[in-house]
Structure 1
Amino acid sequence: MYDIGTRRRALALVAQGRSLNSVSKETGISRAAISSWLARIEPLPRMRSADPGPPVDDAAYSYLLGLYLGDGCISPHPRKGYYLRIACADAWPGLIELCREAITAVRPEVGVHLLQRQGYVAVTSYYRHWPQVFPQHAPGKKHERRITLEPWQQAIVDAHPWEFIRGLIHSDGCRITNWTTRLVAGEVKRYEYPRYFFTNKSADIIGLCTKTLDSLGVRWKRSNSVNISVARKASVALMDTHVGPKY
């Protein structure tokens, strides 16, 4: 009656300590069905080790992909396969929570842990399939190797471009307010204007960002080899609507 993804999500919610009543209300699945899965009366089939299946939530994946390309890494774990870590600065508690929620939405069956480090939180999740979920994983730093999206990833980004841009900006970008002065009728007046920046050492990741901005009609300008900016009023307004400042 229920597909594997729905059943996995329900069991993942129970594993988080939620009551059967609350999980039933949120998912619309009866308590009896959830209880039967917990009792292994109706066990879930195992996924093949090399195929974790598609992301449960494509929009969340597009956002998480942006975060991963900016401040994420995947490392081997001696017992649990691999762990994904996304570094989120302490200054942005909202970003830490958004990252945690995105991982849970993409893979409801995995746990997410917040590990405090000096000046940042490592949002961490252990899962044997992370290299298949993010095939950009490879030895070495991202900016020292080729970064391209798989066709299935590009299809998700094409369907959810703003989420991808939001993830990139939340990881390696910012929204700031610049100011300048002008002499008007003999009086010096100060003018402020917002702009967005994205910074990354990888030319490929910069290219993924600018290609997506182009598809959204956002005008951008390259400041140097590692920085692009969005400063035109109409484009900043679009970014404010769909991205906004980190918090």
Structure 2
Amino acid sequence: MLDDAAVQSLLGDISPSIHGSVVSDVNRKGHFYVFVDVNRDKDNKQVPSNFLLHNVKRQIEVHGVEVDFVLLDARQRDAESGLRATVLHSFGEHIRNVFLSTTNTDAVVWLDAKRGLESGVKEAVAEKARIFLTEVGFDLKAVETTSGENLPSRTACLRIIRASAPVSIATLDARLRDRGFTVPSADWLTRRLDSMRRAGLIVRLQTGEYVLSLASIRAMGTSKNRRSPDIERLLALAAGRH
């Protein structure tokens, strides 16, 4: 059975577009997630194309494993920033933050409300979001609030980081989803990690990956001498601290 590195080596023509490392599915043996940065060429065609992705997927599956491509569209990231600015400008009194998740052209808007949203406010936000998203090529399918979802807590993030460190945002995202958590968007997760880093719970390496801080390792329960596996790992990575 192929491991993460072996799958990565089989990506061939799409290798330049791969975002981070291949992630194995902890719940399904032989199943992997591959994060791909997609863009648009001068003819507005997706690069790499779905045709190319499908061919690579088939070539890898010949080796007895299954891959799912998670497409990270630069257009979505731009749309999320624009949507956030638009909504907060009009509804900053009610909304703390806004996130966007998309599948092809379908979009779901996530609202981090300062308090319970009245139905009239939510409807007004939805109308504003619909107008904006239509303009940038997306169809609004739903407006949700983060308060009612199974969002990953700090503890959940810390446990996965401890088990998988050093861990990229893409890997952490996949691991959290494997465990049934809702991750509104990559930007939401990045902000959560930044908050944890400022609180001294995690360390961001120069590679952009994350490990637990020494304080978190001790708080989560481990041997406190230098021979502890957790502390040895942190010391070995300390040179890459960012």
Query: Which TM-score bucket, shorter chain as reference?
Result: under 0.3
- Larger CA Rg, structure 1 vs 2: 1
Normalising by structure 1, we get a TM-score of 0.27
> Relative contact order (C-alpha < 8 Å, sep 6+): which is higher?
1
